[in-house]
Structure 1
Amino acid sequence: MKAIAPILLLAGSAAGQQAAYGQCGGINYSGPTNCVAGYACTSYNPYYYQCVPGTAAPASTSTSKTSTSTAVTTTSTSKSTSSVKTSSTSSVKTSTSTSSSTKTSSTAGPVATGFAKTNGLQFEIDGVTKYFAGTNCYWCGFLTSNADVDHVFADMAAAGFKVVRVWGFNDVNSVPGSGTVWYQYLSASGSQINTGANGLQRLDYVVSSAAAHGLKLIINFVNNWNDYGGINAYVNAFGGSASTWYTNTAAQAQYQKYIEAVVSRYKTSTAVFAWELANEPRCSGCDASVIYNWAATTSRYIKSLDSNHMVTLGDEGFGPLAGGDGSYPYQAGAGGYTWVDNLNITTLDFGTLHLYPDSWGQPYNWGNLWVSTHGAACVAAGKPCILEEYGGTNNCTIENPWQATALKTKGIAGDMFWQYGDTLPSCNCQTSQDGNTVFYNQGNWDCMVTQHVAAINAL
């Protein structure tokens, strides 16, 4: 994950006031709770309130077990991939609409011809085998306006994207107010999976809208990072640590219950591209067998529930690899696992790799080696791989070479930049800018998206 751009955290204009887009409340927060003029403190989850444009009264910053916030429903995740940087959270400036409309966009995609699958070292989607372009929209499932979801997916389809990665998790340790989207409450005394209107029904609409627009979704089940609960929410409920989570019996039992709840809703939907075990799983100080055994067990369990869809791990690509230069990302301890060993798990259909040289202390041109060495490993394993996340100060001169390398590298079957941005019609406001966001038809859109899609289609 890419850390939030520090340029958003500007100094406040008066003492005791939080700056534009700065944190202003939430459980365990102790900083300023008033925002600078023109901004309102708004709750995005019980742990994170942010100063966003508006004139609403400041949100409550109660640290009681049950949040009283009923404000907007979605936050942005921080992309914290660095081994030395801590995770931070930014927010999606999104709609407070609770529209019950179920109307989908009239811009429908091609009719699905079956479930997405591997075809040699590539993917086959709706009868077409080729290299596919995609993007990340973790926040799509947290929007409360159906019209916003339709608008975003219509724009994605128009751009030529085919695969979209969304968060299939949103875990809490205290049940928030009725206006906040959450999927699972975790507690040792009794966890709860939220299937209501502010729970998995939001994900239901994302799946149905994706189907209407001819898009395919990668849906994952837990976050390694603390955003939207993540492994930390399980640790809060069941004890242990982030490293012992993979072998914690109670945590894994609830994790599998959640997987079953989500998979059972969409096991017959052709809009699902693949299930993903986790976002960037790591196990600090662990033997590589810990994540390997967890991934093998979990992917086997998913396959027992659903034989229609592919399964992938969601790891970043760390560990020794033939052709690597021995730098930090290629070292055995970088993520606490060995990527190439995970790739060979039989119940994982394809591999994933992420690319953030800034966070990993590498020069930008090093990314081409990262892509090519992983592609070679994918060929050796006989499986396609996706460059599932990548970012580098949102600069085309940095990221375009990675796209070109991925496109020409055998074994790499698609790429998905972090992250997609759009303007939501319900509020005429933009989604999160975390320093790596590429907004629809704005800024560097042409060089990052239009030209790249054209190069793919030219093949």
Structure 2
Amino acid sequence: MKSSTLLGLAATIFATSALAAPTARAASSYPTTNGLKFTIDGTSKYFAGTNSYWIGFLTNDADVDTSLDQIKASGLKILRVWGFNDVNTEPTDGTVWFQSFVTGKDPVINTGFDGLQRLDYVVKAAESRGIKLIINFVNNWTDYGGMAAYMNYYGGSENPEWYNNTSIQTQYKKYIKTVVSRYSNSSAVFAWELANEPRCNGCETSVIYDWASSTSKYIKELDPNHMVTLGDEGFGLTGGDGSYPYTYGEGVDFEKNLKIETLDFGTLHLYPSSWSQSNEPFGSEWIQAHGKACAAANKPCLLEEYGVSSDKCNVEGKWQTVALNASGIAADLFWDFGTTLSSGQTSDDGNTIFYNSTQWTCLVEDHQTNIG
């Protein structure tokens, strides 16, 4: 999700020690695909979940526990989180950061108490509750650094330079290796995700295709047991209405990328207003068109983000029903999870669904009933 309003949350209690590494498990205990479905803990069905980009940046363990307890109690099984937090100036106030690119210094991957140890806690807490995490490695947008943080350090200002810069890709893979090696044995990992909404405006689709092929292959070599996905919005698709999201101008070819052997499933996002489209019929047609492409590729697909700022129950509720009944769509994750923690209410970008709200009833509780 692109939003300049996404703000990190600050609390006052800090983790002071690294957590023990997860114990090794049989490959059969990890989430996987089963035809056009996902299998989690031995069950193949349609799953519901949500996004919480901010949970790995919390400094209060109790707030992480509260969030995950609420998610578990609601039956949400998959949680997508940011596994990145890149900065160009190292914070001095205790703010959580995972990787720094400071001019004149070597890049630093922060494995300390205000670094990846915060993500450690999320992974262990999710593991104990049976919640499965999608962990993302970089942002297309500037929130929490993203690709721009790399380019500010190594040079470049446009996305094509990020995908094609050898130094950038070397450091990106170094970061991936650091994160994957920490959790490669964890049953909490649902999938590794290459990037949040990768785009390459005006590029040939081969740029993202080649990058996704090589990066997903690299991750599979590090961790053959967990799934890998791209994290794209689903742009570039034949058979649609020809509007902007269906075109290839952002350098993404959804159907072509689905064929990458080392990507286990496809992703799509849905924000009609951001793309100058109507909620309907565009929304339902977008889901159905992607489900058809996923079924043709014999890979499940995940409606990974979706949201509207008003009439949420009617609009998003319909999308949930369409997704649940569309062959090829195996799960959906609404954007995004909101609650009240020790530091106050979590951020609200207009799409947020808050725990125990009216929208929570219709889009979480009623959706779970419909899934069965």
- The partner residue of 1:246 within 158, 163, 172 is 163
> Over aligned residue pairs, what C-alpha RMSD do you find?
1.7
| Partners of 1:211 and 1:271 within 8 A in 2 | yes
d(CA) in 1 for partners of 2:138, 2:122: 18
Give the distance between the partners of 2:174 and 2:285, measured in 1 at CA. Answer: 39
- List 4+ stretches of structure 1 deviating above 6 A: none
Distance 1:102 1:284 in 2: 40
Unaligned ranges ≥5, structure 1: 2-78, 81-87, 104-111
Q: In the alignment, what sits opposite 1:68?
A: none
Does structure 1 residue 199 correspond to structure 2 residue 115?
A: yes
Instruction: Provide structure 2 residue ranges, at least 5 long, that are not aligned to the other structure.
Output: 20-26
8 Å CA contact 1:224, 1:230 repeated in 2 = yes
Cα distance in 2 between the residues matched to 1:161 and 1:337:
30
Q: Which amino acid aligns with 1:408?
A: N
> Could you say which residue in structure 2 is the equivalent of 1:83?
none
Q: Structure 2: which amino acid aligns with 1:191?
A: P
Q: Verify the 8 A CA contact 1:173 1:185 in the aligned structure 2.
A: yes
The equivalent position to 2:323 in structure 1, one of 402, 406, 415, is 406
Query: What letter is aligned with 1:216?
Result: K
Higher helix share: 2
Amino acid at match of 2:221: S
Q: Distance in 2 between matches of 1:320 and 1:139?
A: 31
| TM-score normalised to structure 1 length | 0.76
CA contact (8 A) 2:15 2:117 kept: no
Per-residue deviation, residues 204-236 of structure 1 (Å, max 9, x unmatched): 000000001110000010000000000000000
2:348 pairs with one of 433, 440, 448: 433
Deviations 1:129-180 (A, max 9, x none): 0000000000000000111101100100000100000000000111111411
AA paired with 1:257? K
Report whether the alignment pairs 1:208 with 2:149.
no
C-alpha distance after superposition, 1:277-321 (max 9, x if no partner): 000000011111000000001000000100110000000000132
Q: Give TM-score, length-normalised by structure 2.
A: 0.94
Q: Equivalent of 2:277, from 359, 362, 373?
A: 362
For residues 41-440 of structure 1, the aligned pairs below 5 Å read 79-80=2-3, 88-92=4-8, 94-98=10-14, 114-187=29-102, 189-241=105-157, 242-322=159-239, 324-333=240-249, 335-365=250-280, 366-394=282-310, 395-424=312-341, 426-427=342-343, 429-440=344-355
Once the two structures are superposed, residues 351-404 of structure 1 have per-residue CA deviations (whole angstroms, 9 ceiling, x without a partner) of 000000010011111100000000000001010000000001141111111000
1:187-210: CA deviation from partner (whole Å, max 9, x where unpaired): 464111000000000000000000
Greater Rg over alpha carbons, structure: 1
Matched residue SS, 2:213: helix
Identical aligned residues as a percent: 60
| Higher RCO (CA < 8 A, seq sep 6+) | 2
Q: What secondary structure, in the 3-state scheme, does the structure 1 residue paired with 2:79 have?
A: strand
C-alpha contact 1:303 1:347 (8 A) present in aligned 2: yes
Matched residue type, 1:319:
G
- The structure-2 alpha-carbon separation of the partners of 1:420 and 1:141, relative to structure 1 and needing over 3 Å to count, comes to same
